[in-house]
Structure 1
Amino acid sequence: MSDQFVSVILDAVNKLNQSELPVWSKTDLFSTTYRGRQENVVKVVKSACQLAYHDDIHTVFELTFSKGCPGDVDADRYLNEEVKPLDLPDELKNFHVDCKYSFYAFGEADYMQDIVQIVDLAKNAGLNPQSMHYATSLSGSVNDLFQYFNDALSYAHDHIRHYVIEATISVNSPSLDE
């Protein structure tokens, strides 16, 4: 939350775009979509968050991870890309984040067992999951959070045909001081 939000966003996007990304991307009026192999997408999204991070700016990131939508076919060739390191600046920091997320399993009769497994992965990651209305809150480092997202997506990929994770990540919130 800054009156310089345009430069914060564009600086991060420009730094990210200077690397040869192993994902397909498209930016529109509302967001940027990345498609590709799960590990590469998680890595790119994490890097975007890290590049936008400033010690003194309250930042909120809205994320959606999904698999299984039959209409989602743009750039399918990126789904088979090898896992690649990103050539990014050395300035990527590990910082504290607070997150709320919801996991949705579509077309699954007994989806609660999968949600329990997804939440248990957060416990094992040390992210202190707390139940809230229609969501779970997490707290920890950006590195641990995105490792958890990768682990949760791997679990979901192996057990569920169609799923969505909706997440809101907050950094440097002034509400924490209250």
Structure 2
Amino acid sequence: MKDQFVDIILGAVNQLNQVKLPVWSQTDLFSTTYRGRQENVVNVVKTACQLAYHDDVHTVFELTFSKGCPGDVDADRYLNEAIQPVIVSTELKNFHVDCKYSFYAFGDADYMQDIVHIVDLATQAGLKPQSMHYATALSGTVEDLFRYFDQALTYAHDHIRHYVIEATISVNSPSLED
């Protein structure tokens, strides 16, 4: 939350665009979409958050992870890429994050067992899940959070045909100082 938010956002996106990414990407007026193998997408999004991080800036990231939309076929070839690290010239920090997320399973009548399992994975990851209305709050490091997202998405991929995770990540919030 800073006057120079455009520079912060585009700076992170431009740094990512300067390296060979194992994902397809498209930036528009509202967001940047990354599509490809799950592990690569999670790693690219984590790197984007780390590149946008500044010690003294309150930053909020809005994320959507999804699988199973029948019309989503852009750049399918990236789904079979090998798992690759994102190598950038900037040192990436591991910082504290607070997150709220919601997991949605579509087309499955008995989805609550899957949601319970996914929240249990957050507990095992040390992210201290707290129930909220229609969401779960998590608290930990950016590395732990994205490792958890990868685990939750792997579970969902193996057990659910169509799902979406909506997440809001907050960093350096002045609300925590109260």
TM range (shorter): over 0.9
Partner of 1:120: 120
Partner of 1:21: 21
Q: Matched residues, percent identical?
A: 81
Q: Distance in 2 between matches of 1:21 and 1:138?
A: 28
Give the count of matched residue pairs: 178
* Paired residue secondary structure (1:170): strand
1:19-68 alpha-carbon deviations (Å, 9 max, x no partner): 10000001111101000000000000000000000000000000000000
* Paired residue secondary structure (1:109): coil
Q: How does 1:70-81 map to 2 (within 5 A)?
A: 70-81=70-81
Partner of 1:51: 51
When normalised by structure 2's length, the TM-score is: 0.99
Q: How does 1:144-159 map to 2 (within 5 A)?
A: 144-159=144-159
Root-mean-square deviation (CA, aligned residues, Å) is 0.6
Partner of 1:139: 139
Runs of 5+ unmatched residues, structure 1: none
1:95-125 alpha-carbon deviations (Å, 9 max, x no partner): 0000000000000111000000000000000
Structure 1: 4+ residue segments shifted above 3 A: none
Q: Distance in 1 between matches of 2:24 and 2:94?
A: 25
Runs of 5+ unmatched residues, structure 2: none
Q: Distance in 1 between matches of 2:36 and 2:19?
A: 16
The one-letter amino acid paired with 2:30 is F
* Paired residue secondary structure (1:66): strand
* Paired residue secondary structure (1:94): coil
Q: Distance in 2 between matches of 1:16 and 1:27?
A: 12
When normalised by structure 1's length, the TM-score is: 0.99
